[in-house]
Chain A
Amino acid sequence: MSKEITHWLDDLLAEIEGIVVRRKSSRRVRVDVPADALPALLELLQGRAGYIHLSAISCVDWIKEDEFELVYHVWSYESHSLVSAHIRIAREPGVYLSVYDLYQPAAFFERDIHEMYGIHFEGSPNMEKFILTEWDGPPPMRKEFDSEAYINEHLSWQNYNPEWLQELVAEGGGVIIPPEEQRFSQKKK
C-alpha cells in the first residue's frame, strides 16, 4: 500500500511548476520549489496526501549566496513518510509568508526563526521575542554575527590555569591536556 501512495505522491508533486523532487529513500522525499509555490505545495500535501503534521521549519543562512534557505518538514501518519520542502528567499529584506493558516504549530517555529535569523513572516500571529527575551543584540544565528568578537567585548576570560591544577596532579588526580591536543584544529597530523 505504501508503494501505491509513493507513486501517487510523485504524480501529485508533478502538478507544481518548477519543482525538483529527489527521493532520498522510500520514506523520505526532498523537494525544492520556488518560494512562491510553497503555500500551494503545502496545501496539496496537507489536503490531498495526508501530510498533516508540520514537524519543524528549519533555516539555513547561505551568506555567500545572499540567501536564506527555509526547510519545511511535513510528516504523514498514513504513509509514514517525511517530505522536506526547501525554498530559498533573498537575505534582504528577509520577508516571507507565514503558513500559520495551514499549520498552526508554524507560529512557534516562525517566531523562533524570526528571533534567531531576523526573518519576518507576514501573517504570523506573534513575532515577539520567544526565548531570548533579555537579548537586545542582533539575531545571533545570522552568519555575520561574530560570536567570538561579541564575547571578547562583553565577557572576560580566564585560561584553565595549569598552576591551579598542579595541586590536584600532586594528589594523583586531574588530567592536564595541552591545548594542542584539546582542539581538533590544532592537532598535529
Chain B
Amino acid sequence: MGSIKQIPVVEAKRTNPLARVFDDLVRFCRSRSLFILHYCTGCGAIELPPAMTSRFDMERLGIQPMVSPRQADILLITGYVSIKTLKRVILTYEQMGSPKYVIGICSCTVNGGMYWQSYATAKKLDEYMPVDLYIAGCMPRPEAVIAGLQQLMDKIHSGEASSWEDYYRNYDYYLGNQQKLFGEDWQTPTDVISEAKHYDLLSEGTLGDHTRLLEQHQKPLEALEMRLGHEQEEPAK
C-alpha cells in the first residue's frame, strides 16, 4: 500500500453541472443592465441626449447614464481626446470597477479624424486603453449609437467583450504608450498591478520595462486632508 501522498491529486474542477448555465445567466444579466459614465469628450456627445431621451430611448435597452466612475460599466469616448483630457480619461478608466467596457465614438478616436494634424490631440485611442467597439462616423447618428450599443450587449452576452482583461494582461504596453506621451514620471493613483493579481490576470505582459520605470518614479500617495467647516488654519509662527 502506498502512502496517501502517492495518490495523484486531480485539480479541482468545477463540478457543478449548472455552472455554465449560471455563467450564461450572469452574462445575460450583465448585458441587460449597463450604466454609461457621464463623461463626454469632444463633440460627439451632442448625439447622446437624443439617444438617451424619448425619441430613441436608450433605457429600453437597459442603458442609463451614471455620474460616478465607480458605479459605471461603459466609458464612452465621444470624439477627440486632447492629451490633457486623455490623462483624465485614463484616471477615470482605472477607477471604474471591472468588468468595464470602452466604446470609441466618432472617427477622431480611430485616427484623429479632422484633427489628424493637431499637436494637442491623441490619435489612436486603443494605444492607451483597450477599446471594445468603435462607432465610426463624424458624427454617428443616434441610430448608429444604439446599433453599436446593441452590438456591445451581444458581445457581453457571448463573452467576447473582455478588453478590460487585456488592460491587466498587457499593462506594460499601455503604460509604455502613456509614458511616451505624458513623460516618464506619469503615475495614476490606481495600483493596476495589484488589481491584476486580484483578478488573477497577471501574465507576461503585465510587468516589464515600463512598470519598472513606474516603480522608480512612483511617489507614495498621500491621504487627502480632511477639514470640517470653512475655518482656515493659521500659519504657525
Contacts and interface: CB of A to CB of B under 8 A. Distances in A.
Interface of A: 132-135, 137, 140, 145, 147-148, 150-151, 154-160, 165, 168, 174
Contact of A158 (B111, B136, B181): B111
A137 B119 contact: yes
Given A134-B83, A158-B110, A160-B110, A151 B181 contact: no
Contacts of A148: 117
B6 interface: no
A173 to B, nearest CB: 8
B124 interface: yes
Contacts of B180: 154
Given A151-B118, A160-B111, A160-B136, 11 more contacts: A135-B120, A140-B119, A145-B119, A148-B117, A151-B117, A151-B123, A154-B180, A155-B123, A155-B124, A158-B111, A159-B111
Contacts of B176: none
A150 B118 CA distance: 9
Contacts of B83: 134
B112 interface: yes
Given A134-B87, A160-B110, A155 B181 contact: yes
A165 to B, nearest CB: 7
Contacts of A151: 116-119, 123
Contact of B119 (A133, A150, A156, A159): A150
A156 B120 CA distance: 13
A137 B181 CA distance: 12
A147 B117 contact: yes
B84 interface: yes
| Pairs A-B, 3 closest by C-beta atoms | A155-B123, A147-B119, A150-B119
A165 B136 contact: yes
How many chain B residues sit at the interface, stated as a range, is 10 to 19
17 contacts: A134-B83, A134-B84, A134-B87, A137-B119, A147-B118, A148-B117, A154-B180, A154-B181, A155-B112, A155-B123, A157-B111, A157-B112, A157-B116, A158-B110, A158-B123, A158-B124, A165-B136
B107 interface: yes
Contacts of A134: 83-84, 87
A151 B123 CA distance: 9
Nearest to A145: B119
Contacts of A174: 136
Interface in B149-196: 180-181
A156 B87 CA distance: 17
| Residue from A155, A159, A165, A174 with most neighbouring chain B CB atoms (10 Å) | A155
Contacts of A150: 119
Contacts of A165: 136
Given A134-B87, A147-B117, A160-B110, A155 B136 contact: no
Contacts of B111: 157-160
B127 interface: yes
Contacts of B37: none
Interface string B82-100: 0110010000000000000
Contacts of B122: 155
A153 B228 CA distance: 49
A140 B112 CA distance: 18
A104 B55 CA distance: 47
A133 B111 CA distance: 24
A148 B119 CA distance: 8
B17 to A, nearest CB: 37
Interface string B104-118: 000100111000111
A78 B55 CA distance: 48
A154 B83 CA distance: 11
